[in-house]
Amino acid sequence: MYSGLLFAHSYVRYIVLILLIIVIVTSLVGVLQKKPYTTTDNKLSLFLMISTHIQFLLGLTLYIVSPVVQFSGESMKHPETRYWLVEHISGMLLAVVLITVARSTSKKMADSQAKHRRLLILNLIALAIIIAVISLSGRNFFIFR
């Protein structure tokens, strides 16, 4: 079970990252070229949010069953176990919240430029957090595990 979850979590991250970059680029183009907010923009942000939530649920399940995550005072003394116990989940939760807020608040806006701007800013911050948290792991960004 653990290896299957880890495999899924490792590959779904690329779906999330690709969608995140696509939403950021389309939002940037929308802001710079003053394009209207289309149904395609809406669907992209929806698919981003759905894939992000799936990734978070996979990660949360891994968090519970992982042999690396150890709930003890000793865990905080070891950088690798502290990273997985606290830093990874906290950073990724913040990124998921930002992506969700970007989607839910932009949906309620009437102005296309405001929607593009909201999606651009919050998703860009989420991407920066994701990259920072992954780089803190000390692993290669493109490694599968």
Q: Cβ of 59: how many Cβ atoms within 10 Å?
A: 22
Alpha helices, H only, the chain: 2-32, 39-65, 79-82, 88-108, 112-136
In this predicted model, what pLDDT tens digit does every residue of 50-103 receive, in sequence order? 999 999 999 999 988 877 777 777 777 877 778 888 899 999 999 999 999 999
Do residues 120 and 103 make contact, with C-beta atoms less than 8 angstroms apart? no
The structure tokens listed for 136 are 């803190």
What are the residues whose beta carbons fall under 8 Å from the beta carbon of 102, sequence distance 6 or more?
45, 118, 119, 121, 122, 123, 126
pLDDT over 70 (residue 144): no
pTM for the full predicted model: 0.89
Q: What confidence score (pLDDT) does residue 143 get?
A: 55
In this predicted model, what pLDDT tens digit does every residue of 9-28 receive, in sequence order? 989 999 999 999 999 999 99
